[in-house]
Amino acid sequence: MLCWMCCAPIVMQAQVNKDMNLEAYKWEKRLLLLFAPTMNDAELGRQKELVRRSQSGIAERQLEVLELVPGGNAATMREDLLRKFGVEAERYTLLLIGKDGQEKFRTQKAVPLEEVFKIIDQMPMRREEMRKQD
C-alpha cells in the first residue's frame, strides 16, 4: 500500500506529460487541434457536433481530437501551441497534424470531417495503412 502511494504521483505525472507534449503522439496518432477563445465559441460548437457524428472515421484514421480552449481537454498545451503554430488566440482555428508532426490543413471554420478524412486518405502513410487492412 505504501509503495503504491509513493509511486502514484509519478504515474499521474507521466500521464500529464503525455498530454503536454505533441511529440508523444508523433508516428502514433494524427491530431485534430481545435483552438477557440472560449468553450462557447459558435464554430467550436459546430465542429464538436461534426466530430461527435464521425467517431468511426476518427478511430479508423487514428485521429486524436484536442480542444485547445480554456477549460478544454488540452487547455494546458494551449499557449505553447498557439505560438508554435502561429494561431490567433481570439479566433477559432482547426489544424490537422499528420503522424509526422507536420501541419497538413488549417481552417477558421467548422468543416465536415469527410473533408478532413479526404486529406488524410491522400497521405502516403494512410494509404499504406489502407493497403495493410485489405
* Domain 27-133 homologous superfamily, CATH: Glutaredoxin (3.40.30.10)
Contact 64, 77 (CB under 8 A): no
Q: How far apart (Å, rounded) are the C-alpha atoms in residues 30 and 94? A: 13
Contact criterion met (CB below 8 Å) for 29 and 94: no
Provide the pLDDT for residue 58. Answer: 96
Write down the pLDDT at residue 7.
Answer: 42
Closest by CA position to 121, among listed 61, 66, 62:
61
Task: Specify the pLDDT at position 132.
Answer: 87
Mean pLDDT by 10 residues, the chain (134 residues): 41 36 90 96 97 96 94 86 95 97 97 97 88 82
User: What pLDDT is recorded for position 6?
Assistant: 45
Question: Domain map of the chain by residue range?
Answer: 27-133
Query: 75's torsion region: left (phi>0), alpha (psi -120 to 50) or beta?
Result: alpha
Question: Residues 93, 35: contact at Cβ < 8 Å?
Answer: yes
